[in-house]
């Protein structure tokens, strides 16, 4: 069965991240469908909207939008109806639900979720911390972290750390190296949640082999020896179990799924930490 291509026009008065995430989540449910994304961010005037409408006319498809200005939303829906392109406001049903429950009409504020508020600066602070505490750097200041990730090489520590930072979670990560003792600064950490990341030896070997290939390195390196990798993983798990640190097997998990599990663990960790204080 061949892939069916669908034009997907995503029109936003902000960055378009909400639309992209929502549309990809839905498109992933349709096997054999390839969505060709046309993204139009920061559409806040009629002139900008008309440019998008011209492109929709040229390549008709599904139109999803997050336009809180009613005049713009109305014009887009009318244009889509004339073109024959189905359109949907992603925020409208949610805003309607909020309004019916709260009993207050919405106050349109394009891009409000990206305002420079305390949450924004918290995320930027977390990202700065995470970037400066990657791969074992500055381990003497891990006490300021919310989460410390540990695992053998190629268990997605860095990308998971960055994803968590974008959610406002200060994250440091530390590689597990067989027979190498933990830094003394890590021995008695109290504030951060320490999570061990695990993966099957086969998966780690596959990722490491691809990395060696991109580096034009020796493909017969011990770095990709299946027996040695299995021993690395076993030693890391033994350490995590001995310390009572929670573990997550990332073999078949996406970065987003791993991060979601860590955030849930961190919430429980904070509750225990507060109750023990």
Is 200 annotated as ligand-binding?
A: no
Q: Compute the C-alpha angle 35/37/39, nearest 5°.
A: 160
Please identify which residue in the block is written with the tokens 């829906």: 77
Which alpha helices (H) appear in 84-147, and where do they start and end?
Answer: 92-102, 118-131
Distance CA 111, CA 96 (A): 18
Tell whether 270 is in a known binding site. no
124 CB-near residues (< 8 Å, 6+ apart): none
Q: Are 250 and 199 in contact (CB under 8 A)?
A: yes
23 is in an annotated binding site: no
141 is in an annotated binding site: no
Say whether 151 counts as a known binding-site residue.
yes
Instruction: Give the Cβ contact number of residue 133 at 10 Å.
Output: 23
What CA–CA distance (Å, rounded) separates 111 from 12?
A: 9
**Annotated binding-site residue? 184:** no
Instruction: Please state, in angstroms and rounded to a whole number, the distance separating the CA atoms of residues 256 and 253.
Output: 8
Length of the chain: 277
Provide φ and ψ at 158, rounded to 5°. Answer: -65, -50
Please report which helix (H) or strand (E) contains residue 83, including its range.
helix 70-83
Q: CA angle 191-126-20, nearest 5°? A: 130
Tell me whether residue 18 is annotated as binding: no
254 is in an annotated binding site: no
* Residue 35: strand, helix, or coil: strand
Binding residues: 151-158
Binding residues for ADP: 151-158
């Amino acid at each position: 069965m061949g892939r069916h291509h669908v034009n997907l026009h995503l029109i936003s008065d902000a960055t378009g991240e909400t639309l992209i995430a929502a549309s990809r989540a839905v498109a992933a449910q349709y096997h054999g469908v390839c969505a060709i994304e046309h993204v139009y961010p920061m559409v806040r005037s009629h002139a900008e909207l008309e440019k998008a409408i011209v492109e929709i006319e040229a390549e008709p498809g599904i139109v999803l939008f997050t336009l809180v200005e009613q005049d713009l939303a109305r014009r887009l829906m009318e244009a889509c109806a004339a073109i024959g392109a189905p359109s949907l406001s992603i925020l409208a049903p949610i805003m309607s639900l909020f309004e019916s429950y709260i009993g207050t009409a919405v106050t349109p504020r394009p891009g409000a979720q990206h305002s420079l508020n305390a949450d924004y600066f918290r995320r930027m602070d977390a990202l700065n911390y995470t970037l400066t505490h990657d791969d074992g750097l500055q381990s003497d200041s891990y006490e300021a972290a919310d989460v410390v990730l540990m695992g053998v090489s190629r268990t997605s520590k860095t990308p998971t750390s960055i994803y968590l930072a974008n959610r406002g979670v200060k994250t440091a990560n530390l590689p597990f190296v067989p027979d190498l003792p933990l830094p003394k600064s890590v021995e008695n950490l109290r504030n951060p949640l320490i999570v061990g990341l695990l993966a099957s030896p086969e998966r780690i070997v596959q990722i490491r082999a691809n990395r060696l290939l991109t580096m034009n390195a020796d493909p017969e390196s011990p770095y990709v020896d299946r027996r040695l990798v299995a021993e690395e993983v076993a030693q890391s798990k033994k350490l995590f179990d001995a310390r009572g640190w929670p573990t997550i097997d990332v073999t078949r998990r996406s970065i987003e799924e791993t991060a979601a599990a860590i955030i849930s663990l961190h919430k429980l960790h904070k509750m225990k930490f507060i109750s023990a204080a």
